[in-house]
Structure 1
Amino acid sequence: MRLPLLALLVSGPAHGYELKQSLEALLGAAYPRPNVGQIYVTLGRLEKAGLIEGEEVEQPDRPNKRTYRITAAGRETVAVWFEEATVEPRVRDEFFMKLALAARAGTAGRTSLINRQRRRYLKSLRELSRMAASEDRDNRVAQLLIEGAMLHLQADLEWLQRCQEELE
């Protein structure tokens, strides 16, 4: 959460709730909605780290709000983040660990594990399809997020089929 918040602050100062709304508008319904409490805790940590500066803004007839602005160190952190490629190999997949240990533990059959996982992936695909249909068509970022998740699930389904063929 810290790097996306920093990246949002590059475009200008904002308070926590504005940042929450910006993330939700950008990423759409498929991405888990950020908790506003988590956002404020993260902003506090970023401020302590010197990556942002907070300022109390007085509001007539309303409680003051704290607005955050990115620092030079924060801008550098964002620049480095965008320069780094993201690699998340799936070798620590929890399902695969279950599958590998099923025969040894003797508590679950591999085929039943694969079928249960397949049903879960198919359910997720249906949910994402509904989200894609209801998501604002003009929000290309959200549409691409949903499409990417669906492609990953389709690959996971193909991999499950391969596992089943190899292990039976």
Structure 2
Amino acid sequence: MRLHLLALLSRGPAHGYELKQDLEQLLGAAYPQPNIGQVYVTLSRLAKSGLIEGEEIAQSSRPNKKIYRLTVAGTEALNAWFEETADEPRARDDFFMKLALASHTGLADQIGLINRQRREYLNTMRTLSKLSAAENRDNRIAQLLIEGAMLHLQADLDWLERCQEELEGPR
């Protein structure tokens, strides 16, 4: 969430609740909604590390609010993040480790694990389909997020099928 908040602050100063609302509006219902406490804790850490600075703003009928803005170091960190590529090959996937260790330890049935994971992926796809239908069609970012998640799930389902074929096939 650190870099997400920095990116939002690149548009101009904002307080924590505004940043939370911006994320929710941008990403829609398919993306896990940020907890406001998590937003403020992250903002505090960003300030301590010198990536943002905060300023108390007095309000007449409400408690003071803190407005945050990027520092030069924050802008540099954000630019570096946008230059990086995502390195997420799933070689360290938790499910795969369960699958590999199931037969090695005798603690679980591999096909049972595959079937449970398949059901979970299918349930998630149904949920995403409903969210896609309910999501505002004008929010292209949210639609792309849902579509990407569904394509990843389909690839995961195909991979589960491949695992099952391999494990049930002749040795």
Bigger fraction of residues in strand: 1
Which whole-Å CA distance do the structure 2 matches of 1:107 and 1:49 have between them? 44
Q: Which amino acid aligns with 2:133?
A: A
Which whole-Å CA distance do the structure 2 matches of 1:81 and 1:50 have between them? 16
Query: What is the aligned partner in structure 2 of residue 11 from structure 1?
Result: 11
Which whole-Å CA distance do the structure 2 matches of 1:37 and 1:167 have between them? 45
Q: Which amino acid aligns with 1:86?
A: A
Q: What is the DSSP-based 3-state SS (H/G/I as helix, E as strand, rest coil) of the residue aligned with 1:63?
A: coil
Task: Find out whether 1:41 has 2:41 as its counterpart.
Answer: yes
Q: What is the DSSP-based 3-state SS (H/G/I as helix, E as strand, rest coil) of the residue aligned with 1:6?
A: helix
Q: Which amino acid aligns with 1:110?
A: Q
Deviation at 1:76, TM superposition (A): 1.0
Q: What is the DSSP-based 3-state SS (H/G/I as helix, E as strand, rest coil) of the residue aligned with 2:9?
A: helix
Range with greater deviation from structure 2 (119-128 or 99-108): 99-108
Which whole-Å CA distance do the structure 1 matches of 2:37 and 2:6 have between them? 16
Range with greater deviation from structure 2 (5-14 or 112-121): 112-121
Deviation at 1:105, TM superposition (A): 2.1
1:1-168 correspondence runs (5 A): 1-168=1-168
Q: Which amino acid aligns with 2:23?
A: L
Which whole-Å CA distance do the structure 1 matches of 2:104 and 2:82 have between them? 44
The runs of 5 or more residues in structure 2 that have no matched partner are none
Deviation at 1:108, TM superposition (A): 2.0
Deviation at 1:89, TM superposition (A): 1.4
Q: Which amino acid aligns with 1:93?
A: D
Once the two structures are aligned, what percentage of the paired residues are identical?
70
Q: Which amino acid aligns with 1:65?
A: K
Which whole-Å CA distance do the structure 1 matches of 2:128 and 2:46 have between them? 33
Q: What is the DSSP-based 3-state SS (H/G/I as helix, E as strand, rest coil) of the residue aligned with 2:57?
A: strand
Q: What is the DSSP-based 3-state SS (H/G/I as helix, E as strand, rest coil) of the residue aligned with 2:21?
A: helix
**CA offsets 1:40-60 (integer angstroms, 9 cap, x no match):** 111111111111110000111
The runs of 5 or more residues in structure 1 that have no matched partner are none
